[in-house]
């Protein structure tokens, strides 16, 4: 038998007979390792303990302490265990596929009756019984004809179709979890008892077309989540509870911010409260951009396809564009236009009007640009993922030797805005040259080095995102982490040598000749819609006072205080506070509850005592106690609190 050499993570090597399995290797090292082993990493690939190793390789034995590998196996095994449980409970159910996804897995079933919440409880109970049996998991490679016959004999048509779709030279691996069998690439654990029985939960059932084709059967997809221990499952379920409380769609209804309807898919109907947040944020950004040396422009919504062809978007982005055909008067054919999906080609058109000198650079051109992009209906999500949105977009036209300075300046600009909006820190990803790209290696070397150096000079560490740059240049992505640990990619900075070339942008350099500017695409918020959604979820609707759409409600306790309530409101409004009166004939506790649900930050209650003493009873959102304060003290304090941070 041929000998092979296996190299371990510590650099040591051992010789074995070809065909040895990782399970045998673990046993050769120690009995305790053999007991703890769950899989191996062989030449960088995740490897089942039962798979033979036929040639010289690197190897590491994985245990439950190896989080990534353990999670993959636990979740994959649970998909099989769930499918086994379903078929033990309902033998007529047909099985299809069950992949691992983020935080868990799903499995699609063909069953005439819909699964109920009670069914999910029965499946979970059966799964735990299977885990406690500690049934062995074994694997074999079958030829195609044997596998097809097996599934035909067992009336599993979906599995037969899956085999037909597998390339002919690919081996078919069969896995058994006890007596139950599935077609699967693996790897898997060694027995069902290795799955932690207290660290998983079945979450929901949804419809899913077989192979994503609406002309094929509608299946039932059961989702589950799983972790390496019960505490991590508990943490995740708590996270889901928090996320549900913070869901911007739910809070949007409670705070009366916006709505969406089927006549305008992916478009937002902003209500007065929501539009107040929007315009407050936009006014803040406008002031910051003016201070940052930006000029503001506005460009057309509908643009002829000729410009999109020249920019390259017609070729690369057409499926995401809304096409507008116009039957021009006396025209022999319809003019074809598109709603703009981005602002950059239009900004170049403004730059190209009149001669530009090197003295005009850098030129920082900003627009609150309304864009429209086609997103599949299934991808739409509240105001986070829409078809119509407004970017806080800007393009900086500069010389090559200004890339570094402009990058550093932009990072400082973005950092202050994020701090003002409640995000003290952010992560930066650096995406370098992709395999398919425009521009010479020399130009890429310059732009990548300038971006990296400027980012470091600005005091920002970054992680490398290899090969993920735009085809026209490298980019930085700025990632915010919210109050419950979710990451949101918001700001971007991209270096572009291509669009100025395609759209013939030039400036007169010191040597009197025409040169191409470099174009820096940049955004801080990304889109107002998505960023407002992030802010709502970050603060669970309790927005900073200066941004809250309804800052103060002044509520009467008795009708005799109504005139005083209106006087207080008038004084607050005059001081720049968004205030409103509630003089309805309702009990004060009812009013407080209602306005608390609407996330009003401050409620001022007024009764006869407050009228006589010229005071107000102050209740802040989330606090049970109230304080009686002099009106002359409350108004300037709230006016100060209502002032945006950049105006303090």
What pLDDT is recorded for position 440?
A: 81
Q: Which member of 173, 246, 521, 599 is catalytic?
A: 521
514: helix, strand or coil:
strand
Provide the percentage of residues in the chain whose pLDDT is more than 90: 83
Q: What is the DSSP letter of 260?
A: -
Q: Which CATH superfamily is domain 259-539 in?
A: Bira Bifunctional Protein; Domain 2 (3.30.930.10)
Distances (CA, A) of 566 to 12, 57, 71, 569, 573: 83, 81, 61, 5, 11
Provide the percentage of residues in the chain whose pLDDT is more than 70: 99
616: helix, strand or coil:
strand
Cα–Cα distance, 258 to 252 (Å, whole number):
6
346 is catalytic: no
Cα–Cα distance, 646 to 648 (Å, whole number):
6
Q: Of 224, 264, 6, nearest to 115 (Cα)?
A: 224
Q: Of 242, 247, 281, 317, nearest to 529 (Cα)?
A: 281
Cα–Cα distance, 569 to 550 (Å, whole number):
12
Contact 599, 251 (CB under 8 A): yes
**Residues for the chain: how many in total?**
648
Range in 159-168, 362-371, 617-626 with the lowest mean pLDDT: 159-168
- Is 521 a known ligand-binding residue? yes
Q: Which member of 395, 437, 516, 550 is catalytic?
A: 395
259 is catalytic: no
Pick the CATH number of 3-63 from 3.10.20.30, 3.40.50.1100, 3.30.390.50, 3.40.50.740: 3.10.20.30
398 is catalytic: no
Domain boundaries of the chain, sorted by first residue: 3-63, 71-244, 259-539, 545-642
Q: Which member of 69, 220, 391, 551 is catalytic?
A: 391
Q: What is the mean pLDDT of residues 21-44?
A: 95
What pLDDT is recorded for position 348?
A: 97
Tell me the pLDDT of the chain averaged across its residues: 93
What pLDDT is recorded for position 451?
A: 87
What pLDDT is recorded for position 332?
A: 65
- Is 395 a known ligand-binding residue? yes
- Write down the architecture of domain 71-244 according to CATH: 2-Layer Sandwich (3.30)
Cα–Cα distance, 173 to 47 (Å, whole number):
13
539 is catalytic: no
Q: What is the pLDDT of residues 293-351, one digit of tens each?
A: 999 999 999 999 999 989 888 887 888 999 988 777 666 677 889 999 999 999 999 99
Fold of the domain built from segment(s) 545-642:
Rossmann fold (3.40.50)
Q: Which member of 475, 530, 595, 619 is catalytic?
A: 475
Contact 428, 460 (CB under 8 A): yes
Give pTM, 2 decimals.
Answer: 0.84
Q: What is the DSSP letter of 88?
A: H
490 is catalytic: no
Q: Torsion angle, CA of 415/417/422/426, rounded to 10 degrees?
A: -30
Say yes or no: do domains 3-63 and 71-244 share a fold.
Answer: no
What pLDDT is recorded for position 392?
A: 96
Q: What is the mean pLDDT of residues 35-55?
A: 95
Q: Which member of 184, 246, 344, 364 is catalytic?
A: 344
66 is catalytic: no
Query: Which phi and psi (to 5°) does residue 329 adopt?
Result: -60, 130
Q: Which member of 14, 36, 150, 373 is catalytic?
A: 373
Q: Which member of 393, 432, 496, 582 is catalytic?
A: 393
Q: What is the pLDDT of residues 543-596, one digit of tens each?
A: 999 999 999 999 999 999 999 999 999 999 999 999 999 999 999 999 999 999
Highest mean pLDDT among 254-258, 434-438, 449-453: 254-258
Q: Is the pLDDT of residue 387 over 90?
A: yes
391 is catalytic: yes
């Amino acid at each position: 038998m041929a000998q092979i050499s296996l190299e371990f993570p510590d650099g040591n090597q051992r010789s074995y007979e070809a065909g040895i399995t990782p399970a045998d290797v673990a046993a050769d090292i120690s009995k305790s390792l053999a007991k703890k082993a769950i899989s191996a990493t062989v030449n960088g690939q995740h490897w089942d303990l039962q798979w033979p190793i036929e040639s010289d390789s690197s190897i590491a034995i994985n245990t439950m302490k190896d989080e990534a590998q353990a999670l993959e196996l636990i979740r994959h095994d649970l998909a099989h265990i769930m499918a086994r449980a379903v078929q033990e409970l309902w033998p007529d159910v047909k099985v299809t596929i069950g992949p691992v996804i983020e935080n868990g897995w799903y499995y699609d079933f063909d069953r005439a009756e819909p699964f109920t919440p009670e069914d999910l409880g029965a499946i979970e109970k059966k799964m735990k019984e299977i885990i406690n049996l500690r049934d062995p998991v074994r694997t074999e490679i079958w030829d195609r004809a044997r596998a097809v016959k097996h599934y035909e004999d067992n009336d599993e048509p979906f599995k037969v179709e899956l085999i037909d779709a597998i390339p002919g030279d690919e081996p078919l691996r069969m896995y058994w979890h006890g007596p139950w069998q599935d077609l699967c690439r693996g790897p898997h654990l060694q027995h069902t008892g290795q799955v932690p029985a207290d660290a998983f939960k079945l979450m929901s059932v949804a419809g899913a077309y077989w192979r994503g084709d609406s002309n094929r059967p509608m299946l039932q997809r059961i989702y589950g989540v799983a972790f390496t221990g019960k505490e991590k499952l508990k943490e995740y379920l708590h996270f889901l509870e928090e996320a549900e409380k913070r869901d911007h769609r739910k809070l949007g209804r409670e705070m009366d911010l916006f709505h969406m309807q089927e006549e305008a898919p992916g478009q937002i109907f902003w209500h007065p409260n929501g539009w107040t947040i929007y315009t407050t944020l936009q006014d803040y950004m406008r002031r910051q951009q003016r201070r940052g040396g930006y000029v503001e422009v506005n460009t057309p919504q509908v643009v002829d396809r000729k410009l999109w062809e020249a920019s390259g978007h017609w070729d690369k982005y057409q499926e995401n564009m809304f096409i507008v055909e116009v039957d021009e008067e006396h025209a022999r054919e319809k003019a074809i236009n598109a709603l703009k999906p981005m602002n950059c080609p239009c900004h170049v058109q403004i730059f190209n009007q009149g001669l530009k000198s090197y003295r005009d650079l850098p030129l920082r051109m900003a627009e609150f640009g309304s864009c429209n992009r086609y997103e599949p209906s299934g991808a739409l999500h509240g105001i986070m993922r829409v078809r119509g949105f407004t970017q806080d977009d800007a393009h900086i036209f500069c010389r090559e030797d200004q890339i570094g300075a402009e990058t550093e300046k932009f990072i400082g600009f973005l950092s202050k805005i994020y701090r003002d909006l409640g995000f003290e820190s952010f992560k930066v990803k650096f995406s370098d040259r992709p395999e398919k790209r425009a521009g010479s290696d020399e130009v890429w070397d310059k732009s990548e080095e300038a971006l990296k150096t400027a980012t470091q000079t600005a005091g920002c560490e970054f992680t490398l995102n290899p090969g993920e740059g735009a085809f026209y240049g490298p980019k930085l992505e700025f990632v915010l982490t919210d109050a419950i640990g979710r990451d949101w990619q918001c700001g971007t900075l991209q270096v572009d040598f291509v669009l100025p070339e395609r759209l013939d942008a030039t400036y007169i350099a010191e040597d009197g000749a025409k040169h191409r500017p470099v174009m820096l695409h940049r955004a801080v918020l990304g889109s107002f819609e998505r960023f407002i959604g992030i802010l709502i979820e970050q603060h669970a609707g309790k927005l900073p006072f200066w941004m809250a759409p309804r800052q103060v409600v002044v509520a009467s306790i008795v009708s005799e205080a109504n005139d005083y309530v209106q006087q207080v409101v008038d004084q607050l409004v005059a001081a720049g506070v968004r205030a409103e009166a509630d003089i309805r004939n309702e009990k004060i506790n009812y009013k407080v509850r209602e306005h608390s649900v609407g996330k009003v930050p401050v409620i001022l209650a007024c009764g006869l005592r407050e009228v006589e003493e010229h005071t107000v009873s102050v209740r802040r959102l989330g606090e049970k106690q109230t304080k009686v304060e002099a009106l002359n003290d409350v108004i300037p304090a709230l006016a100060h609190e209502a002032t945006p941070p950049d105006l303090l």
